[in-house]
Amino acid sequence: MARTKLAVLFGGASEEHPISVKSAQEVANSLDLDTYEPFYVGITQGGEWMLCDRPGPTWESGDLVPAVLSPDRGMPGLLVLEHGTYRTIPIDAVLPVLHGKLGEDGAVQGLLDLSGIPYVGCDVQSSVLCMDKSLAYLVVGSAGIATPQFRAVATDDEVDLDGFTYPVFVKPARSGSSFGVSRVDRGEDFARALGAAREYDSKVLVERAVVGSEVGCAVLETETGLIVGEVDQIRLSHGFFRIHQEDQPEIASENATIIVPADISAHQRLLVQETARAIFRALGCRGLARVDMFLQEDGGVVLNEVNTFPGMTSYSRYPRMMAAAGLPLDEVLDRLVGFALSGHRR
């Protein structure tokens, strides 16, 4: 039986480039080579696409060949430049292991739609909605699910915090992994936080802090419906959760411990999982997502954010939640690619 030709995209021109490389390395370790023939395409931080041997910390120092995805459905696949001539490598499916801007925001998904090649994960519309937290809040709120009180601030807007009480969180509207996020407990620190957020996005959110425990739920879509992983919980010693910004995240976080399964009641666990399903559906997500929420003392669940291609590193939350539910990463990948190849579109 012929192996599935799978293009694995990783890297990217966002601040989450190093995390994507780590995720792709873990994916490479988990792919069954009897089932897949992988083609690894690394995208440099400058935006160049390169066919390489394998993702890893030194992937750019290896043998690289320029390779791009053809948007022409008459020539579907990778266009590889060798000796001044392009050749086409036919591709059955694409696995975009990309995080953040130009990876999860609909840009790559638009190119993949043009190519006509099946791909894993959310489509353009749901990627855009989830990447922009203010849009996600509006859609999810209209579905009757609680969201933080927030205000969106454009580049030149005057900031009006009337009705807000400190503490607040100031964050880029369209970024990930806590880059540019600040907790502000007093007015004199607000301008500094606003400047830090604007280093990553011209659109900034000011959110009233939600009092509650941070929990998450991994969602996997298959041909037979949605599978939810075990709920996890973030236990903080101080500050707020700043994933991927520790010096050695593979070893430990300086202020957070992630508990899987979460230390919550069976009723709360079911409520978090059902809320994650509802959020996934409301935003039109496809394939996979990690839904981050707050569980309040009164039992309420409030959306935090949705990651449409969450981290797949050895320490990432999504694969740990799925593994706790009995699905190791190799099986998750099989189901994701299988679902993409099924041609399912809503």
pLDDT at 249: 62
Provide the whole-model pTM.
0.92
- Quick: pLDDT tens for 229-285: 999 999 976 455 555 445 556 554 555 789 999 999 999 999 999 999 999 999 999
pLDDT at 346: 42
- Quick: pLDDT tens for 292-314: 999 999 999 999 999 999 999 98
pLDDT at 62: 81
Q: Answer yes or no: is pLDDT of 99 > 80.
A: yes
Q: Which CATH architecture has domain 129-146+211-341?
A: 2-Layer Sandwich (3.30)
150-208 belongs to CATH 3.30.1490.20: yes
Domain extents in the chain: 4-119, 129-146+211-341, 150-208
Q: How confident is the model at residue 162 (pLDDT cuts 50, 70, 90)?
A: confident
CATH classification number, 4-119, choose in 3.40.190.10, 1.10.1200.10, 3.50.50.60, 3.40.50.20: 3.40.50.20
Give every strand in the sheet of 213-222, ordered side by side. Answer: 256-259, 225-236, 213-222, 288-295, 301-307
